[in-house]
Structure formats: structure tokens, C-alpha cells
Amino acid sequence: MRKVTLAKNAGFCFGVKRAVDEAIKTQREYNKKIYTLGPLIHNNDVVNYLEDNDIYAIDINDIENLNSGDVILIRSHGVSKEVFDLLTDKGLIVINATCPFVTNIQKKVNKFSNEGYKIVILGDKNHPEVIGINGWCNNEAIVTKDGKIIEDLPNKVCVVSQTTEKEENWNITINNLNNKVSELKQFNTICAATEERQSSVLELSKTVDFMIIVGGKNSSNTTKLYEIAKENCKNTIHIENAKELPQSLIDDSSINTIGVTAGASTPDWIIKEVIEVMEGK
């Protein structure tokens, strides 16, 4: 009998659930089309669900087409101070659904850059969360993807992390900075939900024949879960939903134990569907 095990911590995190709930609530409150700046979350199924509820993602360049009184929602990744000011100056009704953990990072970099610290961000320079954080310190942060820092640094440095980073990358970053800087303010801002998902997948992937990681292909935290699982279980795949499950896997009776986890932007119903297909229900 095939056994399918869901990781202890999987799926929607607090910040993402809060943003989705806020979007639905806002649309009902204003009872008209509302907009999100960029896709609300990195999950195509959820984006389609939101469109069915009259909630549409737009690009920053589309802002000029909006009118005073239109409603726009800032997603959980947050935005730069410049973008925030642009939205309010245009007379839009701005609903700020930035994850509180991300807001905390924005406040920290703003405070310490104003106090003369050079800001270092561990993360992906192209990720909206990192772009937003950098926008709270005049876009002057050094962004490192892997903890290696080749730039010359002043004596005073403040370092933070993208919320979905790996703990090992944070440790590398701190070791490198300690060797270069005399005064280091360090704030490990990897979100607890990220740590919990990563440690859960680490444990589960050591005990199963096959791992299925469910989440958006462009979701940073889901990709990290895939990388961690793959290190321990070479039979690991990353899918967006049950439709992407290979038929060969569904039919393979030699695979007895399957582990499933999901990124922070994957809703419960998508996870449930994947488990049911793999259990043969």
C-alpha cells in the first residue's frame, strides 16, 4: 500500500494568507474591480481565482491608466518607499497588505541607513521583496545571493535577509562580514514559516522514496524547498498542481513512500488534490 506523507509545515504562510484574505475582503467592501501591484502571490491557480473575484494584477507601468479613487493593493512582498509615495500621490486608495515580517525589515534598513550604516541584503536582487527593501535605503544596499561579498565595505554595516532565504546562506554571510567589518548589526530576518518549512522538508526527504514539491515555478521559497529535498532524495519533482503529476509516477507501484510539501503561496486545496491523486482516490 502506497503511503503519502504531507510535511508537518506546508502551504500558505501567514503573510500570504493575510494578503489573499485582505484582497477578497477589500473587493467585497468596495464592490468594484480592484488591482494588485504585480501578481498577489506566485501561484497561477490563485491568480486565476482572484481574477474570477474581480481582482486583477497590474504592472507598475499601468499605474498611469488608473484614476483617483481606484483601489490598489500592495502584495505581501511589499514595495519601495518611492512606489508607495507614487500610489498615494496619484490619489489611489492604497491597501497595504505587505507581510508584517517584511515591513519590519523595511523599517530596520530605513533606520540604520539613516544612522550611517551600509545595508547588506542576503537575497535575490531581482525578487520583488528585495527590490522593495532596497527602496527603503535609497536603493544603495549591497545585495548578495550566496553570502559572498566582493565590494569594499565601510566599518559600519547592517545586514538583513530576504524572508525566504536558506539558513546556511545566512551563516555564510555573517562569517564573511565578521571578517571584514568592525561594527556589524545583524538581523536574521528569515521568516519562521520559511525555517519551519525547510526543516520539515529536510526531515521528510530523508525518509521517503519520492518527494513532490508543490508551488509556483517562480516562487522563491518553493524553489528552496525543492533544492533541499533534492539533496536528500534524488527522486524529487517540482509541480504547480495535480495536473502536472506525471502519469508514470502515478502508476509506478514500486514507489511505496511519497513525501509532499508545498511553498508558502500554495493553497490547501491544491495540496489536497495532489495527495488524493497520489493515494489513488
Angle at alpha carbon of residue 14, lines to 29 and 265, rounded to 5° = 90
Cβ 137 vs Cβ 113: under 8 Å: yes
How far apart are the C-alpha atoms of 198 and 196, rounded to whole Å? 5
- Write out the three cell numbers for 260: 509532499
Closest CA to 99 of 35, 143, 40: 40
Residue type at position 281: K
Eight-state DSSP code of residue 265? T
CA distances from 126 to 123, 133, 138, 160 (A): 9, 12, 16, 16
The backbone torsions φ and ψ at residue 193, rounded to the nearest 5 degrees and listed phi first, read -65, -35
Concerning whether 183 is annotated as a catalytic residue, the answer is no
Strand order in the sheet with 236-239: 3-6, 257-262, 210-214, 236-239
How far apart are the C-alpha atoms of 247 and 258, rounded to whole Å? 15
Q: Which of 22, 51, 115, 129 is catalytic?
A: 129
Dihedral angle at the C-alpha atoms of 188, 192, 193, 194, nearest 10 degrees?
A: 30
Q: Is 42 annotated as a binding residue?
A: yes
Q: Is 13 annotated as a binding residue?
A: yes
Q: Is 158 annotated as a binding residue?
A: no
Give burial (CB, 10 Å; 0-12/13-18/19+) of 227: middle
Q: Is 248 annotated as a binding residue?
A: no
CA distances from 71 to 36, 41, 57, 81, 205 (A): 9, 18, 12, 18, 43
Q: Is 171 annotated as a binding residue?
A: no
Q: Is 221 annotated as a binding residue?
A: yes
Q: Is 219 annotated as a binding residue?
A: yes
Q: Binding-site residues, please?
A: 13, 42, 77, 99, 127, 163, 191, 219-221, 265
Q: Binding-site residues for dimethylallyl diphosphate, please?
A: 42, 77, 127, 219-221, 265
- Catalytic residue numbers read 129
Q: Binding-site residues for isopentenyl diphosphate, please?
A: 42, 77, 127, 219-221, 265
Q: Binding-site residues for [4Fe-4S] cluster, please?
A: 13, 99, 191
